[in-house]
Amino acid sequence: VASKGTGKEKLTALLEKTETKALSAIADTKSSATLDELKREYLGKKSVLKQVNESLKDLATEERPEVGRAISSYREKIAAAIAEKEEKLQKSGGEPSDIVDLTLPPRNQPRGHYHLITQVERELVDIFVGLGYQVAEGPEVDTDWYNFEALNFPPGHPARDMQDTLYVNRGNGTDAVLRTHTSPVQVRTMEKQKPPVYVVVPGRVFRQETLDARHSPVFHQLEGLAVDESITMGDMFGTIKTFLSAFFGRDVRTRFLPSFFPFTEPSAEFAASCVFCDGVGCNVCSKTGWIEVGGCGMVDPNVFLAVGYDPEVVSGFAFGFGLERMAMLRHGIGTIASFYQNDVRVLQQF
Ligand code: FA5
C-alpha cells in the first residue's frame, strides 16, 4: 500500500477514501448476504484496513500513533455502520428470499366445498346405503333402447313426449340420446346381476325443456330399485316415507296419487307433507300442504322380461326424483337456475 517512507498522510488519506466508499456501500445494501460480503471486503484479511495495518511498521515511529488512531476510527465506524444495518435488515425482514419464518401460518387460502347438489346427493345416498342399498351409475349419453324401449316406451309411444330429449346421430344406425332420467340404469343393473337387487342411482339427466323457476333442461335425479321375491307396494310406501323423513329430519307424512309411467304398474306420484307448514298450507306448497317429490311404482313385468328376470318369481318397486327439487325444498331456494349460475355468494351459503 505504502512504499517505505510515503508517510502517514498517504495512509490516512487511503483509509478516509475507503471509509467513504464502505459507508455508502453499507447504506445501499438491501440484504444480509451482501452485508456479509462488505464486512469481509472492508474489515477482512484482504481489506485495505489489513494492508494499512501491516504498513504501520514501515512508518517512522512518530508517525505511527496518528495512523493507529485513524485505523481505530475506521474500524469502529465501519463496524458500527454494519451493526446498525444488520439490525435494520432484521427488523424489516430483509429480502423476501432472505428470511423464511417457518413459524408463520400460511397465507389464508379460500377453501371451497361441495356444491349443494353434490351434498344433497351424498346425503341421500348415505341414507339408502344405511338401508342396505348399493350405488350404481350409468352413462349420460345412452341408447334409445336403455332410455326408452327396454323401459316399455315403444317407438312412437305418446309417453315419450313427456321426456323429450336430444338425439345424437352416431352414424352407425343406432340412435344415442342424452338420457332423460336415471331409469335406464335400472335396466343396465338388472342385466348385469341376478335378483335380489337393491340399488340407488344418482346422476345427471337432460330434457328438451324451457328453463323456469322449477324446471331446467339439465338436472339431477336419484333413482331407486328394489327387486326381490315378494316385494310389495307396502315396502315401497315404507321405504319412501323412511328416506323422506331421514332427509328432512322429521316425521313427514306421504301421499301417493295414481299416475302413469310405462315401466311401472301401478304407478304413482309421491309427495311429502310440507316441511314448512306441516301440511297446513303455505307459499312453498302453494297452499296445498303437500310437496311433490317424484314418481314411483311397481316394476312392470315387461321390464323384467326385457332383462331376463321371471316376473312370476320376482317383484319390485322403483322410484325417481329430482335432487334440485329436494335441495330447493329443504333450503327454501326459489329458482332452480341458482344452482347453475355459479354465483359464489349463493353457493357459499350452503
Ligand atoms: C321420471 O323421470 C321417472 N323416471 C321417475 C320414476 C322412476 C318413476 C322409477 C317410476 C319408477 P318424472 O319425469 O316425473 O319421472 O321426473 C321425476 C322427478 O324429476 C320430478 O318429480 C321432478 O322432481 C324432477 N324433474 C323432472 N323434470 C325436471 C326438470 N326439468 N327440472 C328439474 N327437475 C325435474
Instruction: Please check the confidence at residue 325 and state whether its pLDDT lies above 70.
Output: yes
Average pLDDT over residues 339-343: 92
Q: What is the pTM (predicted TM-score) of this model? A: 0.72
Average pLDDT over residues 19-45: 91
The continuous run of DSSP H or E covering 317 comes out as: strand 315-322
pLDDT at res. 175: 78
Pairing of β 197-206 and β 134-135 = parallel
pLDDT at res. 2: 45
The rounded Cα 1 to chain-centroid distance in angstroms is: 70
Instruction: Give the model confidence (pLDDT) of 47-59 as tens digits.
Output: 999 999 888 888 8
Cα–Cα distance between 202 and 312 in angstroms, integer?
A: 29
Pairing of β 264-273 and β 175-178 = unpaired
Average pLDDT over residues 75-89: 91
The percent of residues above 90 in pLDDT, for the chain, comes to: 66
pLDDT at res. 216: 94
Of 9-13, 84-88, 165-169, give the lowest mean pLDDT range: 165-169
Instruction: Give the model confidence (pLDDT) of 212-264 as tens digits.
Output: 988 999 999 999 999 999 999 999 999 999 999 999 999 999 999 999 999 99
Average pLDDT over the chain reads 91
Candidates 110, 90, 117; CA nearest to 35 is 90
Q: How far is the CA of 125 from the centre of ligand 1 (A)?
A: 17
Q: How far is the CA of 222 from the centre of ligand 1 (A)?
A: 9
pLDDT at res. 255: 97
* Three-class SS of 59-127: CCHHHHHHHHHHHHHHHHHHHHHHHHHHHHHHHHCCCCCCCCCCCCCCCCCCCCCCCHHHHHHHHHHHH
Q: Which one is predicted more confidently, 189 or 4?
A: 189
pLDDT band at 7 (very low <50, low <70, confident <90, very high): confident
Please report the atom of ligand 1 found closest to the CA of residue 182: 4
The percent of residues above 70 in pLDDT, for the chain, comes to: 95
CA distances from 11 to 52, 69, 76 (A): 7, 12, 17
Cα–Cα distance between 25 and 34 in angstroms, integer?
A: 10
Instruction: Please check the confidence at residue 96 and state whether its pLDDT lies above 70.
Output: no
pLDDT at res. 320: 98
Q: Which one is predicted more confidently, 127 or 53?
A: 127
Mean pLDDT highest for which of 1-5, 87-91, 244-248, 278-282? 244-248
Can you read off the three cell numbers belonging to residue 121? 346427493
The SS3 assignment for 227 reads strand
CB 259 within 8 A of CB 162: no
Please report the atom of ligand 1 found closest to the CA of residue 209: 30
Average pLDDT over residues 109-115: 88
Pocket of ligand 1 (CB under 6 A): 163, 181, 183, 207, 209, 215-216, 219, 221, 223, 261, 264, 267, 294-297, 318-322, 324-325, 336
Q: Which one is predicted more confidently, 323 or 214?
A: 323
Cα–Cα distance between 72 and 84 in angstroms, integer?
A: 18
Mean pLDDT highest for which of 80-89, 92-101, 182-191? 182-191
Cα–Cα distance between 228 and 316 in angstroms, integer?
A: 6
Can you read off the three cell numbers belonging to residue 282? 303455505
The SS3 assignment for 20 reads helix
